[in-house]
A and B are shown apart, each in its own frame.
Chain A
């Protein structure tokens, strides 16, 4: 496979590929893998470059030994099957969440797969640091199978290349907009290839401020969920539904704003927020605007998913007061991924999930954890999807 990629001059290797062929000698959670992942975790948490990058620290933390061990024991648990990798996994990763590729890749790596990771053509400081860290661990030559089994590439949009790789892949992890995903799904792949698709989604936050006097924890959590990846990740909340209070709590908004660290937003940010504001106003849905340097809040009289069309991240929240949680069942559609919640009774949350349409909402997590990655994502248990169960029935 690696040799075949050489036919395409458009492909750039983001990390120097190994001269070795795919070895295929790894199995789920094998020693070399666990040791590699541990080294990566340490390097990210302790490295001088990565320690300043909150998203890289979060990745390092997620990869910590205890977490990996618990994923491992839950996975291998009390199964009657023998687990094998699925084979070669092709990761088509997104541009706006620049280090998402790492989560996609690492879960697949833990399962012992061979990986071809297509990164977006858009570089970022964070991503470069991460690739350097990965590269230096691979270069240490302590992990020969990992060095030969993982290829990091980038190439301009090119169906021929995507097809060539797809025809050799046993699974494709497709992260992207609906348009991109549809285009990739239309490309012929190996007949037994399984597509694991992460298409356009949005996330919301559900609050009940009644009886809450201290906003510190909430503000801190909201700021964390909004700040990561400039609020462009699917899991970052774009809409806040507040139960039972009719005023916009400006003291809370002010506290959220104070928790946001200064970020270099794009020069289009103000115009993008102005478009959202004017669209809502023109439709006579805008009740109030709070505009702070790092945060814009638009209070709306009602929610429709259309307002998401002109949401371009970078610190923009739609705020909607609702009388009761049940109102959500009428407005949320199938593209809703995460509900982050604060001060909502667990029984009410479970009731809500049961009452929502069958095909919506993949995660319900406390405020502040919206971006925490988990092996169950968009409804897939990725450890299951990226492995094969082998049945072994003993005879005589």
Chain B
């Protein structure tokens, strides 16, 4: 399997290649992966054929929702190393993602490479905006637990900011801020929880923290915050005011495509690293549309090998903002996410609760 995805991918700087060179390299690897899945995943071979792909946009994509209904894998059962489940909203079927050791290892490598580009190599004291119980489940990895576990590698002595009932553990948080005064620290949590259970709780209790050398990473989507009309700017403003933190990085990714991590840069743009890319399509026709126009995001990645998740059509809306010329200096495409497709799943004779 490893020869499918050459190791030299992971020795390069994740943002050094310009888009043209990156696409040539990605296309080679994605073509091998396409053939690999055609041979080893029956469902995939029922869906797609052995056509040649001249550009990244030509790669066939799976609708991301298929992972909710099907177990898609390109490896024999004995090579299954772990199974990832998307968190999903209550009552919805979670997506199921099958990982082997190689894919899992590549996922970690890519995560390290990409995040180090934003937060540096030094491991910092870490505050996790969640409660410690979230990791307790052993066999099944929830996306929330997996996310926290993955990010914990970047910190030292992780401390949890919340209690089991999602209330703020103010003593622990204040002690953390006091101990690491004026030192670089790392904070991580899911966007909505950071907002609702951390920032809002601090605001309500009229507590402010001084974490002036801290970095806050957060992810998980804006759906709930959108409903509360909280923009990214507002989120950052409250972070500055309540935590005295300037460095706030949102990132975009999904359980269904491990290794795809798109981090917001200093200029406020999400960046595609060399291992991954985004294509924006018209929601009605699914044709590729021009930069700066909103549409459906298709995500591509060379990381998954154990399951056919290299090219996925998401249900998220976004637009490509530019290529190779972001003010932050990173090469490749940069983009923004604009929320989810409204009303993607309607049920039968419908919901009187709606």
Contacts and interface: CB of A to CB of B under 8 A. Distances in A.
Interface of A: 92-97, 118, 120-122, 157, 174-180, 183-184, 198-202, 232-234, 266-272, 274-275, 278-279, 281-284, 308-310, 312-313
| Most chain A CB within a 10 A radius of its CB, from B70, B91, B296, B347 | B347
B137 interface: no
A177 B347 CA distance: 7
Contacts of A120: 351-352, 354
Q: Binding site of B, secondary structure by majority: helix, strand, loop or mixed?
A: loop
A271 B349 contact: no
A278 B63 contact: yes
Contact of A175 (B70, B346, B349): B349
A271 B295 CA distance: 12
Interface in B307-354: 313, 315, 341-354
Interface stretch (B77-85, B204-212, B245-253, B281-289): B281-289
Nearest to A309: B69
Given A268-B344, A281-B47, 18 more contacts: A94-B350, A96-B349, A118-B352, A122-B354, A176-B352, A177-B350, A179-B91, A180-B352, A180-B353, A267-B284, A270-B283, A272-B345, A274-B63, A274-B286, A278-B62, A278-B66, A282-B47, A282-B66
Task: Sort chain B's interface into a size bin.
Answer: 20 to 34
Contacts of B352: 92-95, 118, 120, 174-177, 180, 184
Interface in B277-309: 283-286, 296
Contact of B341 (A175, A268, A313): A268
A232 B349 CA distance: 7
Contact of A271 (B46, B47, B344, B353): B344
A283 B46 contact: yes
A362 B348 CA distance: 17
B349 A177 contact: yes
Interface of B: 42-44, 46-47, 62-63, 65-66, 69-70, 91, 283-286, 296, 313, 315, 341-354
Contacts of B43: 282-283
B349 A275 contact: no
A266 B340 CA distance: 13
A312 B66 contact: no
Given A96-B349, A180-B353, A281 B46 contact: yes
Nearest to A270: B284
Contacts of A268: 283, 315, 341-344
Nearest to B60: A278
The 7 closest A-B pairs by CB, nearest first: A176-B352, A96-B350, A282-B43, A95-B354, A200-B348, A234-B349, A94-B350
Contacts of A180: 351-353
A249 B315 CA distance: 33
Contact of B349 (A118, A121, A201, A283): A201
A149 B42 CA distance: 61
Given A268-B341, A270-B285, A283-B46, A232 B70 contact: no
Nearest to B62: A278
B343 A201 contact: no
Given A121-B354, A278-B47, A199 B349 contact: yes
Contacts of B284: 267, 269-270
A275 B350 contact: no
Contacts of A157: 353
A37 B76 CA distance: 67
A122 B354 CA distance: 7
A121 B350 CA distance: 13
Contacts of B313: 271, 274
Nearest to A272: B344
A164 B349 CA distance: 25
Contacts of B44: 282
B66 A232 contact: no
Contacts of B342: 266-268
Nearest to A198: B349
B346 A96 contact: yes
A200 B43 CA distance: 29
Contacts of B65: 271, 275, 310
Nearest to A176: B352
Nearest to A183: B353
Contacts of A310: 65, 69
Contacts of B283: 267-268, 270-271
B286 A279 contact: no
A183 B69 CA distance: 25
A351 B298 CA distance: 50
A95 B352 CA distance: 6
B46 A177 contact: no
Contacts of B343: 266, 268
16 contacts: A94-B351, A95-B354, A120-B351, A175-B349, A175-B352, A176-B349, A176-B351, A180-B353, A200-B348, A234-B349, A267-B283, A271-B296, A274-B313, A281-B46, A281-B47, A308-B348
A201 B65 CA distance: 23
Nearest to B352: A176
Nearest to B286: A270
| Most chain A CB within a 10 A radius of its CB, from B70, B91, B296, B341 | B341
A5 B82 CA distance: 53
Contact of A201 (B42, B63, B346, B348): B348
A105 to B, nearest CB: 14
A228 to B, nearest CB: 13
Contact of A275 (B47, B66, B286, B348): B66
Contacts of A312: 345-346
B12 to A, nearest CB: 34
Contacts of A118: 352
A284 B350 CA distance: 29
Nearest to B66: A278
